[in-house]
């Protein structure tokens, strides 16, 4: 971001809830990316991202778990703290892990408070109609909430895997009409934005048209008000590729190349050389 008169970088202002709402009202697309530590939080913030999601995908991309289910509140609080230490201008979303909010609205409020104390500036949780009371309880104590409906990874055992939702008509969980109800419920409960994950493009369009809060898509097509991606997918660091995700770089290949060059230089004695030695 350069100002035309001085060509000096313009200081970015902190992204807050009113700023996200302003972007939505202006029709400015909202960019969201996951990050789990201070280094990447600093880098993605430098790139001008609007919101950083400290997602429970940490369980899969950093911990090597098969799903997000095992991630604990203590682990999430730790990663939120790391991201917050980068003091990003991007708004920090703390993800509520499985088992830390489903028991009762009170449990959800306590969990949300824990993540806010760690440095989150809002929280995200999965679920629609069934979570409306919980979302209302969290927003009542002035903690902004991002909803998350569609392919909700914490529900893999009900869904039978990571399956696109809303392809079939019906009011049962994952049905098209049910997802429309979920979206409405999340908005009515007070969420200020909602993630739409793994749903057909035309359903995302319909939900977006019916809501008055920003829709943030991941595998929901280009018509949402913003998009979110997992950092490791975007950088080309992931083991797997997904139809909806784009690797904007091949950082994984670079890591392998640089490490192999380092190992070869160590073995041959080419590194360290005199230039990298103290005298």
Q: Which residues bind ligand KIV (CB under 6 A)?
A: 34, 53, 55-57, 95, 195, 197, 218, 228, 230
Complex with ligand KIV: residue 56 or 187, whichever CB lies closer = 56
Complex with ligand KIV: residue 99 or 271, whichever CB lies closer = 99
Cβ 264 to ligand KIV, closest distance in Å? Answer: 36
Asked whether the beta carbons of 178 and 162 are under 8 A apart, the reply is no
Cβ 68 to ligand KIV, closest distance in Å? Answer: 6
Write the DSSP string, the chain. Answer: -B-TTT-PBPPPPPP-HHHHHHHHHHTPPEEEEE--SHHHHHHHHHTT-SEEEE-TTHHHHTT--SSSTT--HHHHHHHHHHHHTT--SSEEEEEPPTTSSSS-HHHHHHHHHHHHHHT-SEEE--BSGGGHHHHHHHHHTT--EEEEEES-GGGHHHHTSS---S-S-SSSTT-HHHHHHHHHHHHHHT-SEEEEES--HHHHHHHHHH-SS-EEEESS-TTSSEEEE-HHHHTT--SS--TT---S--HHHHHHHHHHHHHHHHHHT-SS-GGGS--
Complex with ligand KIV: residue 45 or 126, whichever CB lies closer = 126
Cβ 60 to ligand KIV, closest distance in Å? Answer: 9
For the record, the structure tokens of 244 come out as 């909806």
| Residue whose beta carbon is closest to ligand KIV | 55
Cβ 253 to ligand KIV, closest distance in Å? Answer: 23
Cβ 156 to ligand KIV, closest distance in Å? Answer: 13
Answer yes or no: 197 catalytic.
yes
- Residue 19's Cα: distance from chain center in Å? 18
Complex with ligand KIV: residue 72 or 271, whichever CB lies closer = 72
Buried b (16+ CB within 10 A) or exposed e, 177-192: ebbbbbbbbbbebbbb
Cβ 276 to ligand KIV, closest distance in Å? Answer: 39
> Which one of 121, 126, 187, 197 is the catalytic residue?
197
Beta bridge partners, 147, equal 194
Complex with ligand KIV: residue 221 or 271, whichever CB lies closer = 221
Complex with ligand KIV: residue 195 or 203, whichever CB lies closer = 195
Catalytic residues: 197
């Amino acid at each position: 971001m350069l100002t035309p008169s001085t060509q000096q970088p313009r200081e970015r202002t902190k992204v807050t809830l009113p700023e996200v709402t302003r972007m939505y009202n202006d029709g400015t697309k909202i960019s969201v990316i996951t990050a789990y530590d201070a280094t990447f939080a600093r880098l993605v913030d430098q790139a001008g991202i609007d919101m950083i999601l400290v997602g429970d995908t940490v369980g899969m991309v950093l911990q090597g778990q098969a799903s997000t289910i095992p991630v604990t509140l203590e682990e999430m609080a730790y990663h939120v703290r790391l991201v917050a230490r980068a003091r990003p201008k991007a708004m920090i979303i703390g993800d509520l892990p499985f088992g830390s909010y489903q028991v009762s609205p009170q449990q959800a409020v306590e969990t949300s408070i824990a993540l806010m104390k760690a440095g989150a500036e809002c929280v995200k949780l999965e679920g629609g109609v069934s979570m409306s009371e919980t979302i209302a309880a969290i927003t009542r104590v002035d903690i902004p909430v991002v909803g998350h409906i569609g392919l909700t990874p914490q529900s893999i055992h009900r869904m039978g895997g990571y399956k696109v939702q809303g392809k079939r008509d019906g009011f049962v969980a994952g049905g098209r009409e049910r997802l429309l109800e979920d979206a409405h419920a999340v908005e009515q409960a007070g969420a200020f934005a909602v993630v739409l994950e793994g749903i057909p493009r035309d359903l995302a369009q319909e939900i977006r048209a019916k809501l008055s809060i920003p829709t943030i898509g991941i595998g929901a097509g280009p018509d949402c008000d913003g998009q979110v991606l997992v950092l490791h997918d975007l950088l080309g660091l992931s083991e797997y590729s997904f139809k909806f995700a784009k690797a904007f770089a091949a950082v994984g290949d670079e890591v392998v190349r640089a490490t192999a060059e380092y190992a070869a230089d160590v073995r041959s004695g080419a590194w360290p050389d005199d230039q990298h030695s103290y005298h």
